Amino acid sequence: MRVKRPWGWYEELASGSGYKVKVLLVRAGCQLSLQRHRHRSESWTVVAGDGRLFCDDKWYKAIPGLMLSIPCGSVHRATGGKKDLIISEVQHGDYLEEDDIERLEDDYGRSSDKQRRKLVKIARKAQECVSREEAQKLLRKARKIFKKLNKRG
């Protein structure tokens, strides 16, 4: 199933115990968030198009056939060039879900810090709640934020 994102889309092709395989299309002139993962490493192979790949303070020219290994915890990003950039992504790790993305910078307002501040504010309000109804209302609000984060990915 194709999952749309502000920068393009991705499709999950296969998954199993400890691995997941995806294809990503990064639209020309768009880029993924500057991000890292706590529970997985990734291997990217440029399939088609052009652009740039970033990993741990180094930029690479994205040309078909380029392979890049991204260790767990490494800061990375992909940027589409004059053409759409198509990447094959293989993830390895003990947790391979979309919420293992720590966004350090994001062109589309999905920065992790912004969402954390909202959730901290909700948690503080919840501590001040007098009634169970108020606390449940805040919990529903927090769940909506988490859903938005997962949809925007």
Q: What is the pLDDT of residues 110-138, one digit of tens each?
A: 765 556 666 666 666 666 666 777 777 77
Same domain, 63 and 128: no
The model's pLDDT over 79-92, given as tens digits with 9 standing for 90+, comes to 999 999 999 999 99
Question: Is the Cβ–Cβ distance between 54 and 60 less than 8 Å?
Answer: yes
Same domain, 61 and 19: yes
Same domain, 20 and 41: yes
> Is the model's pLDDT at 147 over the cut of 70?
no
Using alpha carbons only, give the angle 93, 101, 3 rounded to the nearest 5 degrees: 95
At 141 the pLDDT is: 78
How large is the average pLDDT for residues 91-119? 80
At 51 the pLDDT is: 97
Same domain, 139 and 98: no
Same domain, 57 and 127: no
CATH code, domain carrying 78: 2.60.120.10
Model confidence, pTM: 0.73
> Is the model's pLDDT at 142 over the cut of 90?
no
Same domain, 134 and 90: no
Average pLDDT, the chain: 87
The model's pLDDT over 8-40, given as tens digits with 9 standing for 90+, comes to 999 999 999 999 999 999 999 999 999 999 999
Residue 1's Cβ-count burial label (10 Å; 0-12, 13-18, 19+) is: exposed
Same domain, 36 and 98: yes
Same domain, 31 and 74: yes
- The boundaries of the domain holding residue 137 are 112-152
> Is the model's pLDDT at 152 over the cut of 70?
no
Between 136 and 95, the more confident residue is 95
Same domain, 10 and 43: yes
Count of structural domains within the chain = 2
Same domain, 13 and 76: yes
Same domain, 96 and 118: no
How large is the average pLDDT for residues 98-117? 76
For residue 150 the two structure tokens come to: 């997962």
Closest CA to 34 of 96, 146, 112: 112
At 36 the pLDDT is: 93
How large is the average pLDDT for residues 56-82? 96
